Structure 1
Amino acid sequence: MFGAPNASLSKTITYSPAYTLVPTYECFNRCTYCNFRVDPGQSPWLSLTEADATLRSLHQPDSNFDSNSVIEILVLSGEVHPQSTRRTAWIEHLYHHCEQALALGFLPHTNAGPLSFLEMQLLKAVNVSMGLMLEQLTPELLKTVHRHAPSKQPNLRLQQLIQAGELQVPFTTGLLLGIGETERDRWETLEAIAQIHQQYHHIQEVILQPYSPGQQEVWGGLAFSPEELVNLIAIARQILPADVAIQVPPNLIQHPTYLVACLEAGARDLGGISPHDEVNPNYPHLLDGELGSILGVNGWQLVPRLPIYPQYDQWLAEPLKTLVQKWRSRISQNQPLSAKI
């Protein structure tokens, strides 16, 4: 799937070579820890012409995969209100951005907040996978950081996981840690994910994302403890089914010692690594080889992956499946990356 492993390294950690396309930063939610959103009407939608120029600048000719290749286009959007007269146009806009990415040979993965069943069904046709963070299921956060965030209703977000399962959409979800939840809240959120996956078998990975203070937010909370993150990974590995990968964002783990500890505790994926983290703009990814070197020194091999895991290829329509298989072939011709990305 990823190419022949280096015999000198027995442990692998995956990542998705990605680029984030933002159709709009506008969002009707006002989560107090957010460093992404702007008020509705204050963020012009990314035009199809602008998106095309950006995607073409990333395009690699059909050749072997290398460390400069982008595979995944993460279509990450702020949310237009479900009752807005612009909602249908917004969904169609997301669809067209995914079409553009596919036309140039990229693999789209959309995360645009809670969607209706029909909206998710429409976007499934132009995405190899999709995602939505559960964050935390406790309703107590609706009194604090989510007080002005209607789409953070726990049942609404759980429904997305169920819809994705019903539609056979390979899905990524996750927890945001350190926003006022208790340890028990975290365990219950993980248990809910596990139960839904056991019914539909569609959750590819669960992100454990430590809250990291940013310059644009209004909340100003304390960063989530890296020691607690390591402990939670070990607990999550016991709660989640074995075929669900645990993902941690390496740019939010500031010390290499803790990153390696996360891997030793059970994390096996680093998510989409792109030039700019739109959600956490104050925490850039390491793209100069340092990340691969850190992992290599500690016996881990950095391996590129697609935004869809191979067990889900059968769920794709034929045109998407053909493109995915083409990417798998390109990656298999190259050794995994052990010291450079």
Structure 2
Amino acid sequence: MSTTSEGWLDKPYDLLHQPLTEGLALASSIRDAAHGTRVTYSPKVFIPLTMLCRDKCGYCTFAQPPARLDHPYLEPEEVLQIALHGATQGCHEALFTLGERPELRYPVAQDWLSEHGYDSTVHYLVEMCRLVRDETGLLPHANAGALFKEELAALRQVSPSQGMMLETLNEDLLCHRGCPDKEPHRRLATLKSAGELNIPFTTGLLIGIGESPQDRVDALLAIRQSHLDFGHIQEVIVQNFLPKLGTAMHKELPCPPDEYLQAIALARIILPPDIHLQAPPNLSDDFGGLLEAGIDDWGGVSPVTADHVNPERPWPDLDLLRDVTEDRGFVLAPRLTIHPEYALDRDRWLDTDNHFPVLDRSDAEGLGRDDPGSQMPEKTMENRDAGSGADVLVADENSTQWYSGGANHSPMTLIPSRSFARGAVKEVLDGVLMGQEVGTEEIITLFSA
């Protein structure tokens, strides 16, 4: 079995006629060659900054009219309360989700922004990202939709990564009638601007909303080209449509499982292999099967908040997520909002104000530390006289961060897990248990694990 997509990229639409089993096998082999057995997820807290939106997508229950909301926007105190709760539970990510430009549709939104001193929803989002990052240490991920270049640039200063679902390039879908922000040229322009600004960016497709299989290939090829131009697409989400009560599409059939698996496999084969591929685990009953289609990431999973976009589909428990992942032969690892390749190249991909927040939560590989504290160190430390005329910084009782020799508790573990090893590492350890002498090559293998 080939581990590359070479040959298919000259005729990508032929992939639509490939037997599903062959497509899954090729996608899995590409994933294994590029990412090994590691499957990541982002421990996150979900912050719905506003549920007002000027678009009227036929499948969405997140967007609500003003009459159904107590307030147009979350107040800063509410934002901080949600973020602090996530920080105390070991989250790394603060996912900001919001409707697109509601002030252009609802006077109540514009009035609220003006009364609070903000020019726009994006302006308020920038300040809330800054508040959460500076007060809790959580890393914001701004998912604000189709933005203009100056808006993306403002968010880059406070949000290490950003995202926007491309969804589809089909301009004639009924579900997007009356949705000016879902026009494909607007969303492609956002992808391009994000690349020009060196923003680690997440995008994706929504499968089963009326688009054709050819439309999916078109969208994947556009994402591929954007990444080849700028290198900024850190992850692509392939999400399946599920009908929801109260929407225009509530009587439509859900995306068929085989069609969904084919779309994921298409993404893995068509996209450059360094792009991470995600499928949400809470939207599939047998989510372990998604690993067979070539994904290497589960996306954000929250131990604190619901999926406000899909509230009827709860997140899987982390123990279950680990068990399902390991039963398929993979290892589960927490990550940051920004994937390791980008976190480790911070001079290119991060605003200088985000260098420390990302480093503070990164391990040596650029993944998420498994001992995050509830607050940043400088927020929970005080000066004390060491008795020699010098002051020392001491973490106070409000800090849940673990420090060698200075903590009265064990470090937090994000993934309670049994220990195990595979491959070359297992061979070395098995040899040690059998009494074999460890040589230089074996030591290098262990330290490289």
User: Which residue among 34, 50, 54 is the counterpart of 2:60?
Assistant: 34
Tell me if the contact between 1:134 and 1:174 (Cα under 8 Å) persists in the aligned partners: yes
Moved more, 20-29 or 285-294: 285-294
Look up the match of 2:227.
197
Shift of the 291–339 alpha-carbon distance from structure 1 to 2, 3 Å rule, reads farther
User: Which residue among 168, 171, 176 is the counterpart of 1:136?
Assistant: 168
Amino acid at match of 2:306: H
Deviation at 1:301, TM superposition (A): 1.7
Shift of the 192–288 alpha-carbon distance from structure 1 to 2, 3 Å rule, reads closer
What stretches of structure 2 of length at least 5 have no aligned partner? 1-35, 114-118, 372-410, 419-449
Do residues 290 (structure 1) and 320 (structure 2) align? yes
Shift of the 117–293 alpha-carbon distance from structure 1 to 2, 3 Å rule, reads same
Look up the match of 2:197.
167
Look up the match of 1:331.
369
Deviation at 1:49, TM superposition (A): 1.4
Deviation at 1:136, TM superposition (A): 0.6
Amino acid at match of 1:320: N
Deviation at 1:42, TM superposition (A): 5.1
Tell me if the contact between 1:251 and 1:283 (Cα under 8 Å) persists in the aligned partners: yes
User: Which residue among 261, 272, 279 is the counterpart of 1:248?
Assistant: 279
Q: Distance in 1 between matches of 2:209 and 2:237?
A: 15
Tell me if the contact between 1:229 and 1:262 (Cα under 8 Å) persists in the aligned partners: no
Deviation at 1:288, TM superposition (A): 5.3
Look up the match of 1:70.
91
Deviation at 1:93, TM superposition (A): 1.4
Deviation at 1:39, TM superposition (A): 2.2
* RMSD (Å), alpha carbons: 2.1
Look up the match of 2:352.
318
Q: Distance in 2 between matches of 1:284 and 1:218?
A: 23
User: Which residue among 108, 121, 144 is the counterpart of 2:140?
Assistant: 108
Deviation at 1:95, TM superposition (A): 1.2
Amino acid at match of 2:91: V
Deviation at 1:331, TM superposition (A): 1.4
TM-score, normalisation: structure 1 = 0.88
Moved more, 118-127 or 32-41: 32-41
What CA deviation, in whole Å up to 9, does each residue of 1:107-157 have, x standing for no partner?
Answer: 00001121111111111110010000011101121xx11112111101001
Look up the match of 2:25.
none
Amino acid at match of 1:122: A
Shift of the 116–234 alpha-carbon distance from structure 1 to 2, 3 Å rule, reads same
Deviation at 1:296, TM superposition (A): 2.0
Q: Distance in 1 between matches of 2:87 and 2:268?
A: 37
Moved more, 18-27 or 273-282: 273-282
1:183-262 superposed matches below 5 A:
183-220=213-250, 221-255=252-286, 259-262=287-290
User: Which residue among 72, 78, 81 is the counterpart of 1:50?
Assistant: 78
Kindly, what percent of the aligned residue pairs are identical?
Answer: 36
Q: Distance in 2 between matches of 1:47 and 1:212?
A: 31
TM-score, normalisation: structure 2 = 0.67
SS at structure 1 position matched to 2:100: coil
Q: Distance in 2 between matches of 1:316 and 1:326?
A: 14
Q: Distance in 1 between matches of 2:320 and 2:101?
A: 38
1:18-33 superposed matches below 5 A:
18-33=44-59
Tell me if the contact between 2:157 and 2:353 (Cα under 8 Å) persists in the aligned partners: no
Tell me if the contact between 2:208 and 2:254 (Cα under 8 Å) persists in the aligned partners: yes
Deviation at 1:12, TM superposition (A): 1.9
What stretches of structure 1 of length at least 5 have no aligned partner? 1-9, 61-67
Deviation at 1:231, TM superposition (A): 1.8
Shift of the 310–296 alpha-carbon distance from structure 1 to 2, 3 Å rule, reads closer
Q: Distance in 1 between matches of 2:280 and 2:324?
A: 15
Moved more, 77-86 or 35-44: 77-86
What CA deviation, in whole Å up to 9, does each residue of 1:23-77 have, x standing for no partner?
Answer: 11001111111010012575421000111222223333xxxxxxx4100000101
Tell me if the contact between 2:238 and 2:279 (Cα under 8 Å) persists in the aligned partners: yes
Tell me if the contact between 2:102 and 2:121 (Cα under 8 Å) persists in the aligned partners: no
Tell me if the contact between 2:156 and 2:351 (Cα under 8 Å) persists in the aligned partners: no
Aligned residues: 319
Look up the match of 1:147.
177
Q: Distance in 2 between matches of 1:300 and 1:113?
A: 33
Amino acid at match of 2:127: H
SS at structure 1 position matched to 2:362: helix
What CA deviation, in whole Å up to 9, does each residue of 1:247-280 have, x standing for no partner?
Answer: 000001112xxx3332122111110112311111
Tell me if the contact between 1:303 and 1:338 (Cα under 8 Å) persists in the aligned partners: no
Q: Distance in 1 between matches of 2:370 and 2:51?
A: 36
Shift of the 338–175 alpha-carbon distance from structure 1 to 2, 3 Å rule, reads farther
- The one of the two structures with greater contact order (alpha-carbon pairs below 8 A, sep at least 6) is 1
